[in-house]
A = this chain, B = another copy of it.
Amino acid sequence: MSIQEVARQAGVSVATVSRVFNLPDKVTPATRDQVREVARQLGYLPNASARTLRTQRSRVIGVVLPTLLNPVFAEAFSGIARAAAQAGYAILPCTTDYRVAQEDQAVQQLLAANVEGMVLVVSSPETSTALQRLAEAGLPYVLAYNRHAAHPCVSVDSEQAVADLVARLAGLGHRRIAMVSGQLAASDRAQQRCRGFQRGMAAAGLGLGTVLEVPFVETAVSEIAARLQAPGRPTALVCSNDLLAIRSLRAAHLAGLAVPAQISITGFDGIALGQDLTPTLSTIAQPNADIGQRSVELLVQALQPGAEPLRPAASLTLPHHFREGESCAAAMAGS
């Protein structure tokens, strides 16, 4: 069903049909209605490829995420989708499974698809070749969750958040606090949160904290449980994200420890599910949907004809907050 066919059936030129859809004011109400009716009957839909080719504007935003299996990114995706629809853009998402090679490939694919800009969550902005490629192509982009002085980012101050959290735990009487982190090399967020942890530990006079790095999801629970059964076990576990915190809850159970009576556990991300668990998850809540939404808004702004290019200084640090849950309490006296 093409514009040609509609024009023929309506007895007008293709130009008129095109105008009916794009500049309805420039056409007589009578013919306008008639063309619309014909189009409706024929089920005509303007061909997006042809339009993109002709206008050099796809009205599509590319989205690069590690995975949608982690609800934190699914939540951000919702925000992205909403904001994009709001601004009249479609979105084309790609997942990378935290693999740098896939980031590269995703960016390539999105470039070929003529996206006008991208919102990305990359492993590490510092070393990302995908970002280099993007910069070379001169395509506007915004990083979400990532934090880096050389790029426009929308994120929260993870480092500060974790440092404050450690202070809070210390205030609750905890002395042996350990961090549970995913693969540090795979994400700048993990690194920032780890730095925040060490900063908090030092500030609380607790020395160098121990970090348990659990690279593989499959073995995470048993590794954490093992650590909890070793001598000198921590009384509080600061987890780098909510999924790890949930696994830590499980590990504590397997180790025979009651939460929060014998051990406190905190997460990071604020996924909705945390509030339905028992115990409810104490966590540093990020405004995930907002992060997605604001990223798109920033991008769309830069996509306006005649807009300034996006500068790193446009970066946004959104507020986070500690979400009080049942998984965290004062340290037992004498423990």
Contact = CB atoms under 8 A, between A and B. Distances in A.
Interface of A: 43, 45-50, 52-53, 58, 67-69, 71, 74-75, 77-78, 81, 90, 92-93, 95, 108-109, 111-114, 133, 136-137, 221, 243, 246-247, 249-250, 253, 272-273, 276-278
Given A246-B276, A276-B221, A78 B74 contact: no
A45 B111 CA distance: 8
Interface SS of chain A: helix, strand, loop or mixed? helix
Contacts of A50: 49, 53
Contacts of A221: 276
A53 B47 contact: yes
How many copies of this kind of chain does the complex include? Answer: 2
B81 A95 contact: yes
Given A45-B108, A49-B50, A49-B53, 20 more contacts: A43-B136, A43-B137, A45-B111, A47-B114, A48-B113, A48-B114, A49-B113, A50-B53, A68-B74, A68-B77, A68-B78, A69-B78, A69-B272, A71-B74, A90-B109, A93-B93, A249-B278, A250-B278, A253-B278, A277-B277
Contacts of A111: 45
A46 B249 contact: no
Output the residue of A50, A136, A278 with the most chain B CB within 10 A: A278
A67 B68 CA distance: 11
24 contacts: A43-B133, A45-B108, A47-B53, A48-B112, A49-B50, A49-B53, A49-B58, A49-B113, A49-B114, A50-B53, A67-B78, A69-B71, A81-B95, A90-B113, A92-B92, A93-B93, A221-B276, A243-B273, A246-B273, A246-B276, A249-B276, A250-B276, A250-B277, A250-B278
Nearest to A137: B43
Given A221-B276, A277-B277, A278-B249, A46 B112 contact: yes
Contacts of A249: 276, 278
- Shortest beta-carbon contacts, A-B, top 3: A45-B112, A49-B52, A49-B49
A69 B249 CA distance: 22
Contacts of A133: 43
A168 to B, nearest CB: 24
A92 B47 CA distance: 16
Contacts of A43: 133, 136-137
A277 B96 CA distance: 27
A258 B325 CA distance: 20
A86 to B, nearest CB: 14
